[in-house]
Chain A
Amino acid sequence: MSWLPAPQEPLLRVAVAGGTHGNELCGVFLARHWLRCPEELKRPSFSAIPILANPEASAICRRYVHKDLNRSFTSTVLSSKATPDEPYEVTRARELNQWLGPKGSGQAFDFTLDLHNTTANMGACIITKANCSVFAMHMCRYLQLQSLELPCRVFLFQPSGETFSLDSVAKIGMALELGPQPQGVLRADRFSQMRALVASSLDFIELFNQGTAFPAFEMEVYKNFGEEDFPRTEAGDLAGVVHPQLQDRDFEPLQPGAPIFQLFSGEDVLYQGDRTMYPIFINEAAYYKTHKAFIKTEKIMTSVPALPPLPSALTHSL
């Protein structure tokens, strides 16, 4: 696997977004809190900016108003002309792109972290794009080592076309996905775990900005290769549920022939793949509509080269 090179300058323009989906409440409440009290996001060399990404959806505690904001950062949407009756999230995506981007340009923010929750039993999961920067991989490693209560895995996401998520606007972007937590519910444990992971990510940026070097390492990562829908009737309704032996087993190996669904009539549906697969986002509420009962991943051991110290470190300014 190859990685994009590390930044050569300190990361100074940093944003943390919550409420990209308005019913994923850890991010909503953290963003609202930081907007009132931003001190928590300050570090000696930079201050991260908090963003409530989808305020209208957050106000009504829904994933989105008209369409999924976190699928709206495509070149088609971002370059489209404004129209009076366009979906709310299209307008908002363009606004966020003006602020944090433009996507792909030299003016884009250095780093964005986007906060999410899932109903799936995924613990803490860092999502970064498959050909990401070596810097991002080192941050993932740092967060893994800090996350003691909750297992923390790294998901390298390969979209089928261009990138489309909010975090793809910045030069380096990642999403933090914490679960399980029901939509519209705020759990104290998830809330404090999310808050601690954000603090650690900013600590890592500060260490990098100060000229810290990070040694090479090896890490297990999960890479997506497909999806599986629920069994459905001809009319498109659900014909069964995630099998009890698969439920809550995100990131655990699933062998060919193992049961994955249980039909309402009682029979089991077995996994037809030809190799061990690691399912994630098992039974995520938001994915019923998009026909994903789980995402299929393979587990790979990957080597990440050392992150050398910044040539223009900020140690003198402290």
Chain B
Amino acid sequence: MTSCDFTEEPIKKIAIFGGTHGNELTGVFLVKHWLENGAEIQRTGLEVKPFITNPRAVEKCTRYIDCDLNRAFDLENLGKKVSEDLPYEVRRAQEINHLFGPKNSENSYDIIFDLHNTTSNMGCTLILEDSRNDFLIQMFHYIKTSLAPLPCYVYLIEHPSLKYATTRSIAKHPVGIEVGPQPQGVLRADILDQMRKMIKYALDFIHNFNEGKEFPPCSVEVYKIMDKVDYPRNESGEIAALIHPNLQAICMHTQVGEQLFWRSCGLMTLVYNGQIMVQNVPANTTCNMRIHSYMLAL
């Protein structure tokens, strides 16, 4: 993916969201810390607002209360009549859209960083929603270069049916930051340090951009979503096989998925179609156990 030269207005309004999933703790604690002491995220000329998006889920240290906030920002939900009967997260999405949007309008925030963790071995991952967003591609290139030799991957979720309506999508430039592996409900120092650095470099980039610094054309390798693959299940809908031990720790490596699922409980052996390339697999995240999927990306 390459970016061309472009001119843009200076970036003014930035938000950093934590707690979109209440049990993904790095973002929760970074945002809480920055709400107390925001020195680290200040840059001249920028308004950077840290914000807890799902405080009730954070309070209970659970992914969500009624439904996934990070799937709730479609125009239908945002346009529903305000009512106590709506799921908590839909009401919350409307509030957030009012504060940081409205989605698709001139007044929405310029950039929103949404901080997430995963139980899978994805390292530092930046999530891109639109392959034509040259500004973000340049930013991601800057972050990757600054983090090196620590790997930092770019995951592109642009897809006609698999793209989802994220909390950050109300901004003009939505950025997903996903760091793992970290168990839900746990805060690891190494993961905290990595996410902190990603934000730092992102803000440095924006500051440099606003100061008029030139960024020559660059090119970034991305992992584009291709498909979601469910676990094999029995008649009751229970998981009937496990992610193969060979795949469990693999991420971002090209591999022909010969044996994707593993026999479990003596119930079945599954040999997946050998032609599929398997990369960027956030295997075994709890949400995937519930929504029956993990991602295959090409």
Complex contact A29–B188 (CB within 8 A):
no
Complex contact B185–A285 (CB within 8 A):
yes
B141 neighbours in A (Cβ, 8 Å) = none
- With CB as the reference atom, state the residue of chain A lying closest to B286: A184
B290 neighbours in A (Cβ, 8 Å) = 61
Q: Quick check: which of B122-130, B162-170, B240-248 contacts chain A, the rest being far away? A: B240-248
Shortest A281–chain B CB gap in Å is 12
Query: How many residues of B are counted as interface, with CB atoms below 8 angstroms from the partner's CB atoms?
Result: 35
Task: Name the contact of B184 in the complex, choosing from A184, A241, A244 (C-beta under 8 A).
Answer: A184
Assuming the contacts A33-B265, A37-B266, A191-B242, asked whether A285 and B286 have C-beta atoms less than 8 A apart, the reply is: no
- With CB as the reference atom, state the residue of chain A lying closest to B191: A241
Complex contact B265–A182 (CB within 8 A):
no
Complex contact A188–B242 (CB within 8 A):
yes
Q: How far is the CA of A33 from the CA of B239 in the complex (A)?
A: 11
Confirm or deny: A288 has a beta carbon within 8 angstroms of a beta carbon on chain B: yes
Shortest B277–chain A CB gap in Å is 21
Q: How far is the CA of A186 from the CA of B135 in the complex (A)?
A: 39
Q: How far is the CA of A23 from the CA of B185 in the complex (A)?
A: 12
A310 neighbours in B (Cβ, 8 Å) = none
Assuming the contacts A61-B289, A191-B264, A242-B189, asked whether A186 and B238 have C-beta atoms less than 8 A apart, the reply is: no
Confirm or deny: B284 has a beta carbon within 8 angstroms of a beta carbon on chain A: yes
Complex contact A285–B242 (CB within 8 A):
no
B232 neighbours in A (Cβ, 8 Å) = none
- With CB as the reference atom, state the residue of chain B lying closest to A179: B183
Complex contact B284–A288 (CB within 8 A):
no
Task: Name the contact of B183 in the complex, choosing from A32, A191, A285 (C-beta under 8 A).
Answer: A285
Complex contact A241–B188 (CB within 8 A):
yes
Confirm or deny: A262 has a beta carbon within 8 angstroms of a beta carbon on chain B: yes
Complex contact A187–B242 (CB within 8 A):
yes
Complex contact A32–B29 (CB within 8 A):
no
Q: How far is the CA of A288 from the CA of B60 in the complex (A)?
A: 12
Complex contact A119–B189 (CB within 8 A):
no
B289 neighbours in A (Cβ, 8 Å) = 61, 184-186
Complex contact A180–B183 (CB within 8 A):
yes
Task: Name the contact of A188 in the complex, choosing from B189, B190, B245 (C-beta under 8 A).
Answer: B245
Complex contact B286–A189 (CB within 8 A):
no
Confirm or deny: A77 has a beta carbon within 8 angstroms of a beta carbon on chain B: no
B186 neighbours in A (Cβ, 8 Å) = 119, 182, 283-285, 288
> Which residues of chain B in 232-262 are interfacial with respect to chain A, using CB atoms and an 8 Å cutoff?
238-239, 242-245, 248, 262
List, sorted by A's number, 14 A–B pairs whose CB atoms are closer than 8 Å: A29-B239, A33-B267, A182-B284, A184-B119, A185-B183, A188-B242, A188-B262, A238-B187, A242-B188, A243-B189, A262-B189, A265-B37, A283-B188, A285-B185
Which A residues contact B (CB, under 8 angstroms)?
Answer: 23, 29-30, 32-33, 36-37, 61, 119, 180-189, 191, 237-238, 241-244, 247, 262, 264-265, 283-286, 288-289
Listed from nearest, the 4 A-B pairs whose CB atoms lie closest are A184-B286, A182-B183, A285-B185, A33-B265
